[in-house]
Amino acid sequence: MKITYYGHSCFGITTKTSSLLFDPFIRPNELAKKIEVDKIPCDYMLISHGHEDHVADALEIAKRTNSRIVSNFEIVSWFEKQGINQIHPMNIGGEWNFDFGSVRMVNAVHSSVLPDGTYGGNPGGFLLNIEGKQIYYAGDTALHMDMKLIAELWKPDIAFLPIGDNFTMGINDARIASDFIDCNEIIGMHYDTFPYIVIDREKAIQTFKKSNKKLTLINIGDSINF
Ligand code: NI
Ligand code: MN
């Protein structure tokens, strides 16, 4: 499968059958100016929580692509009120088999409110099983002990972890999180977008390297094969 980075916490995953898009925040992101939002493919849009920096372009992309929005009950209901009828409500601990693979919603320690002040339910992350690969998309979260459950129940081959600090885990906590989930292949997210979350990229990569782990920081607009 192919992973494309659209900046901040927004990634596309292209599987054999579907295009998945996570937490779209592109038009307001100064670092993602070259991304052509109206060309992003999307069959399923997975949203971790309601904050603006995770939903900014969701409505526009969902309307253009007629994609299905997968998120917690409160967030999909908010989109439904705005005319999106392809929705799939979930909540923490639940799992569902989609045509591209399975999705389980897991705990995140953070907050969640939608841009207009509507209650956004509990923040979450996603564990996906696609084409025999297990993928953990952490969303916005602190380091927390429930991550150890992920290693017990699953075995992520790759994990998308926030590393920007201030609003989420920073580099050191993300490195510990990678131990908790027993995963050596990490994709960094939620860094550099705002002054509060600017990181030292080389220091971040070295922090993981010292633990024999690989942190990949994909350039915005680039893709990697996985
Ligand atoms: Ni957030
Ligand atoms: Mn955020």
pLDDT band at 68; cut points 50, 70, 90 = very high
Sign for the CA dihedral angle at 126, 11, 71, 197 comes to: positive
Question: Strands of 68-72's sheet, edge to edge?
Answer: 87-90, 68-72, 44-46, 19-22, 11-14, 2-5, 223-225
pLDDT band at 65; cut points 50, 70, 90 = very high
CATH number at residue 206: 3.60.15.10
Shortest CA distance to 22 belongs to which of 31, 10, 34, 35?
10
| Mean pLDDT to the nearest integer, 101-107 | 98
Question: Ligand 2 centre from 24 Cα, in Å?
Answer: 11
Number of domains composing the chain: 1
The whole model's pTM is what?
0.98
Residue matched to tokens 């993928």:
135
H-only helix segments in 82-192: 147-153, 171-180
Structure confidence at residue 174 (pLDDT): 98
Q: Which ligand is nearest to the CA of 53?
A: 2
Question: Ligand 1 centre from 16 Cα, in Å?
Answer: 30
Phi, psi of 56 (to 5 degrees): -50, -45
| Mean pLDDT to the nearest integer, 49-73 | 98
| Mean pLDDT to the nearest integer, 131-136 | 97
Residue 87 forms part of a structural domain:
yes
Distance CA 178, CA 24 (A): 24
Residue 69 forms part of a structural domain:
yes
Residue 226 forms part of a structural domain:
no
For 165-207, the pLDDT digits (tens) are 999 999 999 999 999 999 999 999 999 999 999 999 999 999 9
Q: Which ligand is nearest to the CA of 114?
A: 1
Distance CA 2, CA 41 (A): 12
Burial of 153 (0-12, 13-18, 19+ CB in 10 A): exposed
Residue 209 forms part of a structural domain:
yes
Residue 20 forms part of a structural domain:
yes
Distance CA 152, CA 154 (A): 6
Question: Ligand 2 centre from 51 Cα, in Å?
Answer: 6
| Mean pLDDT to the nearest integer, 51-64 | 98
Mean pLDDT over the full length of the chain: 98
* Percent of the chain whose pLDDT exceeds 70: 100
Eight-state DSSP code of residue 140? S
Residue 153 forms part of a structural domain:
yes
Range of the domain at 153: 2-221
Indicate the length of the chain as a whole number.
226
Question: Ligand 2 centre from 224 Cα, in Å?
Answer: 23
Question: Ligand 2 centre from 56 Cα, in Å?
Answer: 11
